A and B are shown apart, each in its own frame.
Chain A
């Protein structure tokens, strides 16, 4: 039996899809929200330090599962191998209702004005596809505000002179400082830096009918057992369902977008929880699967009119894959620095996001999230053996006496860091899998190295007896912060979607996730994805009303 036609099918229920589903359903459109993973709740916080979304040595707690979802990874030397979802190199983001927002750290950054105009500010970079966004910070500002107030952000960035202008402050105060904050704050000020309280999608006081953070050890990577951390699963998706216009279907794996002979999309094909093939027709198709899976879906949507995949006329789908190059340092102190109070990450500086001589961008630097014992095993500096009595003694002496300062270095995009679909390897449903290849621009590594030095200097000023750098990885980025593969732009020859997230080729298909980011800022990207989703939805609804549904 054919499924009932709807106004919009939204594929993926993470940061992008959750917001779009809610906005469209609230505007009166009938919506089906498809999610490949399962639905979890606060009761699924199993406090398992070896099996969660951050430490996956015994598997991913919230998907995707290893059995059904392989990818192919091609390394710098051209050697290819199959990687499973819980293995390094997979570039995983959680596959469940809420997507990455279900188990993330929840830093809620606005990008800076400069982050949207990287090429204008810094000029072209050789070997890079660096470009300006077709929209500015000011186009997104009202939507950043909407995300902050509708979903709930705590923190206080009034001490950050580098932030872009905002009309309203954050709706919730920051959590009280932890010990690392108290150690790092005066040190930053002595260095002439401008430390402040990190904005977080985490309740510091009751908000939206949910309680405040209980400051436990089990935060990033885990379900929040008191539901104080906000994701789309406990905010906008329930709002979407409450309208009565949105149906959420879980464990539904979408394989392709169906296109008719006139080049209009008809809907999507998916495999339901019993692996039965279904066709869901819709007037609008909004793809929100994350940069890697959205690119894969477009590339797998081949038809007579679009033999190379949807939106891929000029071979830009899947290009410019980027995440963040995490760079920082560890400091060892003579006194206890660790108070076991979550979420841990509390203090940040934006002094080094821009304006670094000779560098194209930079990074926000912050203290690291709370630690579990196994995290610290590989923190040890080079002079400590990696096993034996000396390592054990180091663990004992250093566990509570270290601080990690780290930040997401903004990457210089390259055309050859990319997602393709593999010609041979297929997943459980017979769908060609994502094939990841490419590396990093050399300048990304230069910036990252510069950031490790800044982190080290901050730790030294704070009284660290010894410091050592966390060497950034030169390999392909992606992971939770994956972006760039469906670039937003005005020119169809050098981008995939227009400035309203609609793909250039087809009138009724949109991509709304980190994939549309032209550049990815020196910040955790979730608030920007949420803001873009509110912004794109606004335009979708206006267009819908103007055309009375005939998009």
Chain B
């Protein structure tokens, strides 16, 4: 990745950050901020996935999936090892929106947390394959190594009071696959 491209992204990131705070929305910024930068998701999908993940691992005294950048992990992996799951996400996310509108007449991201949980409980029952997929990917993005795009600043490892990055032995991270 060239420095030039990074700079552009940083500028856009700032703009979007401003826009987001101006409109009172709290969105996951991912690698480069929410917006037209997602590798696979549309902006709307990314917001929905972010909200789903945040219910799977919500913020409490410790950051939740959103702050940990889990949507960035999923989006990145959908261009790598999880390419095979692209269709499942496209369909699965649309289905979450459909259930949300059917039940509450609103987009998933516009629902109250309790309503979101209700929708996801329905999805868990009616579309168990997609629910298991996104649930497992959320756990991976939250508890797994930051090099894959999630667990920003090792938030989950800090929550578990584990040394991070590893202190015993040489801390050799794989620079090639590391996501900045």
Binding site for B on A (CB under 8 A): 43, 45-51, 57-59, 214-218, 225-226, 340, 342, 373-374, 377, 386-389, 391-393, 395-396, 399-400
Contact = CB atoms under 8 A, between A and B. Distances in A.
A46 B120 CA distance: 36
A43 B169 CA distance: 12
B134 to A, nearest CB: 10
A399 B161 CA distance: 9
Contacts of B143: 373-374, 377, 395
Contact of B60 (A59, A340, A393): A393
Contacts of B169: 214, 216, 218, 225-226
A277 B57 CA distance: 52
Given A216-B166, A216-B168, A387-B57, A47 B173 contact: yes
Interface stretch (B1-9, B22-30, B97-105, B152-160): B152-160
15 contacts: A46-B174, A218-B166, A340-B162, A340-B163, A342-B168, A373-B156, A373-B162, A387-B57, A388-B55, A388-B56, A389-B58, A392-B58, A395-B159, A399-B160, A400-B161
Given A57-B140, A388-B58, A392-B60, A45 B172 contact: yes
B168 A49 contact: no
B170 interface: yes
A58 B148 CA distance: 9
Contacts of A387: 55-57, 120, 135, 138
Contacts, number: 91
Would you call the interface of chain A mostly helix, strand, loop, or mixed? Answer: loop
Contacts of A400: 160-161
Contacts of A377: 139, 143
Contacts of A47: 145, 165-166, 171-174
Given A46-B173, A226-B169, A373-B157, 16 more contacts: A43-B172, A48-B174, A57-B136, A58-B80, A217-B166, A340-B162, A340-B163, A373-B156, A374-B139, A374-B144, A387-B56, A389-B60, A392-B62, A395-B143, A396-B62, A399-B160
Contacts of A393: 60
A393 B160 CA distance: 10
Contacts of B64: 392
B126 interface: no
Nearest to B170: A225
